Amino acid sequence: MAVILITGCSTGIGYSAALEFAGHGDTVYATMRNTGKAGDLASTPNVHVLELEVTDQASVDACIAEILDRSGRVDVLVNNAGIDNLASFEDAYEEEVRSIIETNFFGAWRVTRAVLPTMREQRSGAIVMVTSLAALAPTPGEAAYAASKCGLEGAAEVLSHEVARFGIRVCVVEPGFTRTPIGDKVDPRTASPADSPYRAFMDYLHRQQGKDLDGGDDPRMVAEAIREAVVGPERFRHPVGEMAKMVYETKRTVSEQEMTALVRDELGLGWWIDGDDAPPAD
């Protein structure tokens, strides 16, 4: 059975992915910043919980070294760890923007670089970047998050060509809205001052995002798609869920102007673009 390394496993997609691979008999290294949040993963057969802070190179090196010491190989890396915030481009704090990109983009880059020598030596491996619908159709309030995920997809596509000769496959899994705690700490008030010209807009988007996440896909569905991306027919892009698949197909068939209009209509942005002071009542 394969040796699987997954980042960001304390909740949501990472947690579900750990259970998905472990349920098929693979040896799973479920990593997270705080192993005290491992919950029942700590007692799940085939799962080993390890500490990993993707923004810290020393933590990455120590984690990979421990996995290699225990198992001698890494067959699959799932870069799932990520954070988000909701803020207008103009109001977003640079510190917060850097934090999101450091975790979502550089964190995945850092862990990937750490496992590549082993995978090259094995002449085999699979690397999955968990990106987002935001990489297919970036939406207002998500500039930093979209930048991190779009950048990660670009880097992954480049990597897929570079490592093909070593038998390593690279792909992106693009979930739509998923019921995970990633939105729990998203609060427009942390980045939209009371006198901000975007304050009403960010408050509206915050409410809409909460509804989208509450009604989102089950993270277990994303976990199944991640495993299928590894064991199924090889392809680069894997949109997950009705919304992500619809956006992916639509972008291939409509003009740029039509896509912009569809996004604005789907998000109900007419009031904002038309200059109204407040959105229609829910």
Query: Which pLDDT does position 5 carry in this prediction?
Result: 98
> Is 93 an annotated catalytic residue?
no
**CB neighbour list of residue 13: distance below 8 Å, 6 or more residues apart:** 80, 130, 175, 178, 180, 219, 222, 223, 226
Which residue in the list 15, 29, 145, 248 is annotated as catalytic?
A: 145
**By percentage, how much of the chain surpasses pLDDT 70?**
94
Of the spans 87-91, 106-110, 138-142, 205-209, which averages the highest pLDDT? 106-110
pLDDT value of position 188: 47
Residue 229 predicted with pLDDT over 60: yes
Strands in 237-240's sheet, in edge-to-edge order, are 47-51, 27-32, 3-6, 76-79, 125-130, 168-175, 237-240
Q: What pLDDT, in 10s, does the model give residues 265-274? A: 989 999 999 9
Q: What pLDDT shows up at residue 189?
A: 47
Average pLDDT taken over every residue of the chain = 92
Across 60-84, average pLDDT: 97
Q: What average pLDDT does the segment 85-114 reach?
A: 95
Predicted TM-score (pTM) of this structure: 0.93
The answer to whether the CB of 85 falls within 8 A of the CB of 145 is: yes
Q: What is residue 184's predicted lDDT score, i.e. its pLDDT?
A: 52
Q: Which of 247, 226, 2, 268 is nearest to 129 (CA)?
A: 226
Could you count the other beta carbons within 10 Å of the beta carbon of residue 186? Answer: 21
Q: Region 113-124: what's the mean pLDDT?
A: 98
DSSP 226-281: HHHHHHSS--SEEEESHHHHHHHHHHTTS-HHHHHHHHHHHHT-HHHHTT-SSPPP
Residue 239: what pLDDT?
95
How high is the pLDDT of residue 122? Answer: 98
H or E stretch at 201:
helix 199-214
Q: Which region among 49-53, 127-131, 204-208 has the lowest average model confidence (pLDDT)? A: 204-208
pLDDT band at residue 280 using 50, 70 and 90 as cut-offs: confident
How high is the pLDDT of residue 278? 86
Average pLDDT over residues 226-254: 94
Query: Which range, of 76-85, 126-135, 183-192, 210-219, averages the lowest pLDDT?
Result: 183-192
172 phi and psi, to 5 degrees? -120, 140
Please check the confidence at residue 213 and state whether its pLDDT lies above 90: no
H or E segment and range at residue 70: helix 57-71
Could you give the CA distance from residue 267 to residue 269 in angstroms, rounded to a whole number?
6
Domains of the chain are 3-252 (3.40.50.720)
Share of the chain above pLDDT 90, in %: 79
The angle at the Cα of 170, spanning 164 to 173, to the nearest 5 degrees, equals 160
- Average pLDDT over every residue of 3-14: 96
Q: What is the pLDDT of residue 179?
A: 67
